[in-house]
Amino acid sequence: MNNADYKKEVHNLYKNNRFLEAYQCAWNLPFKDFISWFTDVPGKRKQIKGVTLFNDPFFYNSFLITQSTEWLRHKDAILLWEHYLNTQKSVIIEFELFVAHNNSSLFIEGYKNRLVFLNDKRISKLQVQHLPFQIVSELKIWNRFNNLLNPKWNKIKDLIEDMDLASYEICMVLFSAFEAYIYKNPDDKLRWYNAGESLSLLIAYIQSKYNLSNLNVDKTTLIKAYHQNVHKLKGEEVFNKVYDYVLLRENIYRYAYEPGLDVFINNDDVLRFHESDAFNEKWEYDADRYSVNEQSYYGYGEQLFDELKEENKDPNNQLGNARQLAIKQAIYDLGIRDEDLKNNKLPNLNFIISFLHGIAWRKLETSEKPLHEIARIRQNEYAKGVLELNYKYKSSEFILISNNNTLHNAAKTFGLNCSKQEFDKLIHTFSFNWKVKTFDPLKQSISLWQKPYIQIGKHIISPISILTSFTGLYTISESILKNFKPREGKRIENILKNTYENTQWKTSLLEKSQEYGDVDVVMEDAENIVFMQLKRTSQKTDMRKLYIQLPQDRRAIKQLSEAKFWNTSRKQIHLWYVTTAFEKVGICEKEVYRVSYQDLIHIKRLRDSDGLRFNSLNDFIEMIESDTLYRISKQDVIN
Per residue in 269-325, pLDDT (tens digit) is 899 999 999 999 999 999 999 999 999 999 999 888 876 655 555 666 678 889 999
Arithmetic mean of pLDDT over the chain: 92
Task: Report how far residue 607's alpha carbon sits from residue 613's, in angstroms, rounded to the nearest whole number.
Answer: 6
Q: Which residues contact 296 (CB under 8 A, 6 or more apart)?
A: 598, 602, 633
Task: Using alpha carbons, select from 598, 581, 616, 578 the residue that is nearest to residue 499.
Answer: 598
**What integer pLDDT is reported at residue 486 of this predicted model?**
65
Q: Which residues contact 578 (CB under 8 A, 6 or more apart)?
A: 496, 521, 532, 533, 534, 535, 595, 596, 597, 600
| Cα distances (angstroms) measured from residue 289 to each of 3, 606, 637 | 45, 17, 11
Cβ neighbours of 402 (radius 10 Å): 18
**What integer pLDDT is reported at residue 241 of this predicted model?**
97
**What integer pLDDT is reported at residue 309 of this predicted model?**
58
Q: For residues 69 and 97, is the Cβ–Cβ distance under 8 A? A: no
Task: Report how far residue 527's alpha carbon sits from residue 347's, in angstroms, rounded to the nearest whole number.
Answer: 48
Residues belonging to the chain: 639
User: Taking 60 as the threshold, does the pLDDT of residue 70 lie above it?
Assistant: yes
- What is the secondary structure of 551-598 as a DSSP string? HHHHHHHHHHHHHHHH----SEEEEEEEESS-TTTT-EETTEEEEEHH
Task: Report how far residue 430's alpha carbon sits from residue 272's, in angstroms, rounded to the nearest whole number.
Answer: 39
Task: Report how far residue 145's alpha carbon sits from residue 148's, in angstroms, rounded to the nearest whole number.
Answer: 5
User: Taking 60 as the threshold, does the pLDDT of residue 115 lie above it?
Assistant: yes
Q: For residues 143 and 271, is the Cβ–Cβ distance under 8 A? A: no
Rounded to 10°, the helix 597-609/491-499 angle is 30
Distance of CA 401 to the CA centre of its chain: 28
- From start to end of 373-470, where are the E strands? 399-402, 454-456, 459-463
Task: Report how far residue 181's alpha carbon sits from residue 184's, in angstroms, rounded to the nearest whole number.
Answer: 6
Q: For residues 41 and 35, is the Cβ–Cβ distance under 8 A? A: yes
Task: Using alpha carbons, select from 234, 237, 214 the residue that is nearest to residue 226.
Answer: 234
**What integer pLDDT is reported at residue 638 of this predicted model?**
59
Domains identified in the chain and CATH numbers: 3-136 (no CATH), 163-483 (no CATH), 491-638 (3.40.91.50)
Task: Using alpha carbons, select from 94, 139, 99 the residue that is nearest to residue 119.
Answer: 139
pLDDT tens digit sequence for 397-436? 999 999 999 999 999 998 999 999 999 999 999 999 988 8
| Cα distances (angstroms) measured from residue 440 to each of 149, 202, 204, 253 | 12, 12, 10, 16
**What integer pLDDT is reported at residue 511 of this predicted model?**
76
